Amino acid sequence: KKQYRIAVIPGDGIGKEVVPEGVRVLEQVAQKFQFEIKFDWFDFASCDYYEKHGNMMPEDWKDKIGKHDAIFFGAVGWPAKVPDHISLWQSLILFRRDFDQYANVRPVRLMPGVPSPLANRKPGDIDFWVVRENTEGEYSSIGGRMFKDTDREVVVQETVMSRQGVDRILKYAFELAMKTPKKHLTSATKSNGISITMPYWDERVEAMAKNYPEIKWDKYHIDILTALFVMHPDRFNVVVASNLFGDILSDLGPACTGTIGIAPAGNINPERLYPSVFEPVHGSAPDIAGQNIANPIGQIWSGAMMLEHLGEPDAAAAIVTAIENTLKEPKLRTRDLGGKANTEEAGKAITAAI
C-alpha cells in the first residue's frame, strides 16, 4: 500500500471548520482507492498560536513540516488579533517563498446545477485556470517608510520581477495550456501604465510563446481583463498573471461561478524540492466563522488537487465527481449557494457520494 504523510494546518476562522471536512473526504477516498494517508496536525500558522507565543510559527517550523509529502492548509488571518500583513507574511507567504512554491494554480469552474451570477452561463462556459506567480512580483518586502508620522511621509514598495521568476511561471502556464484541449493562453498585463516591470513581463511572454507554436495566446491589460471575466468568461482557458493580478483574478473568477467558497488552490513547487501547499482560495472569513455554515468545497477540492499532485489522479477525480454530484442537489448546498446545509452536512454528503 502506498503511504503519504500530510501536514495539516487548519489556521484561523473557518479554516478550523472546513479542514476537518477536507480530511474526512481524503480518508474516505484513501480507503476506496487503497492507499494510506497519515495526517499530522499542527496548531501553528494561526493567530491563536501568535497570541500564546508571540510568533505565528515555531522557529523549527521547517523541520516540522518540510519533509511531508504535502501540506493541507485551511486559512490564516484574524485581523482583530494580529495585523494581516504580520500574520500572513509570517505564515502563508513565508511557506510560498521558503518552499519556492512559485506556481499558484487555481481552477475556476462553473459546476453543474449551480447558478452563476452571470446571466445565461452554463457549465462549460466558465472553465479555466488562473496560474498565478507566487513568489515575487508586487508581493515584495523591498521598500520603506520615510519621515514617519510627519507631513512629508513617503512610503515605497518595489515590484520585483526576475528573469528566472517570470520565465518559470510562464513556462508552467504554457505547459499547462499544452495539456488542455483548447491550447489557449491569456496573459494579464498592465504595460500601458506600469512602465518597467509589465513591459518586461510582456517581453518574456512573447519569448516563451516562441517555444510553444501550437499555443494560441493573447494578452489583456488587467482592467479590461476583469471586465472580460464577467462579459466573456468562455474566452479563457489558461490565464497567467503576476502575483497581485493573479490574486485578484482568482477571486473574481470563482465569484462568477456562484461563490468563492468552492475555489481551490495549489501552491506548487514543481521541482518537488519542497512540499506544496493545498488550500482554498478564500480566507478565514471572520464574519461567518464559528457557525458551521462555511462552504467546505474549496477545501475539499484542494484535497483533490493534492492527490493529483501526489500521483493519485483516480482518487482526485472521484472527489471532483462527488463534489459535482452533491452540488446538483440544492438541499446539500451551503448558504453561500442558497442552500441550507451546514459545513459538516455538506462535507458528509460528499464523503457519502464517494
| Cα radius of gyration (the chain) | 20
The answer to the question of residue 103 lying near ligand IPM (CB under 6 A) is no
The answer to the question of residue 56 lying near ligand IPM (CB under 6 A) is no
The answer to the question of residue 47 lying near ligand IPM (CB under 6 A) is no
The answer to the question of residue 261 lying near ligand NAD (CB under 6 A) is yes
Site string for ligand NAD, 2-31 (x = CB under 6 A): ------------x-----------------
User: Could you tell me the smallest distance in angstroms from the CB atom of residue 4 to Mn ion?
Assistant: 27
Count the helix, strand and coil residues of the chain and give each as a percent rounded to the nearest 5. Answer: 40, 20, 40
CB closer to Mn ion, 19 vs 93: 93
Binding ligand IPM (rule: CB under 6 A), the pick from 21, 133, 247, 308 is 247
How many Cβ atoms from other residues are within 10 Å of residue 298's Cβ? 25
What is the binding site for Mn ion (CB under 5 A)?
247
The answer to the question of residue 12 lying near ligand IPM (CB under 6 A) is no
Closest CA relative to residue 276, chosen from 119, 66, 131: 66
How many Cβ atoms from other residues are within 10 Å of residue 158's Cβ? 11
Cα distance between residue 354 and residue 352, in whole Å: 5
The window from 140-148, 150-158, 196-204, 292-300 that contacts ligand NAD (CB under 6 A) reads 292-300
CB closer to Mn ion, 28 vs 276: 276
- Taking CA 107 as the corner, what is the angle to CA 239 and CA 268, rounded to the nearest 5 degrees? 85
CB closer to ligand IPM, 17 vs 133: 133
Cα distance between residue 137 and residue 135, in whole Å: 7
User: Could you tell me the smallest distance in angstroms from the CB atom of residue 137 to ligand IPM?
Assistant: 11
Contact 265, 281 (CB under 8 A): yes
The answer to the question of residue 88 lying near ligand IPM (CB under 6 A) is yes
User: Could you tell me the smallest distance in angstroms from the CB atom of residue 247 to Mn ion?
Assistant: 4
CB closer to Mn ion, 23 vs 92: 92
The answer to the question of residue 283 lying near ligand NAD (CB under 6 A) is yes
Closest CA relative to residue 318, chosen from 353, 342, 344, 287: 353
User: Could you tell me the smallest distance in angstroms from the CB atom of residue 251 to ligand NAD?
Assistant: 8
Binding ligand IPM (rule: CB under 6 A), the pick from 56, 166, 281, 354 is 281
Closest CA relative to residue 296, chosen from 253, 247, 351, 250: 351
DSSP H stretches of helix in the chain: 15-33, 47-53, 61-65, 84-89, 92-98, 163-178, 197-209, 222-231, 243-256, 297-310, 313-327, 343-353
Residues that bind ligand IPM (CB under 6 A): 77, 88, 93, 247, 281, 283
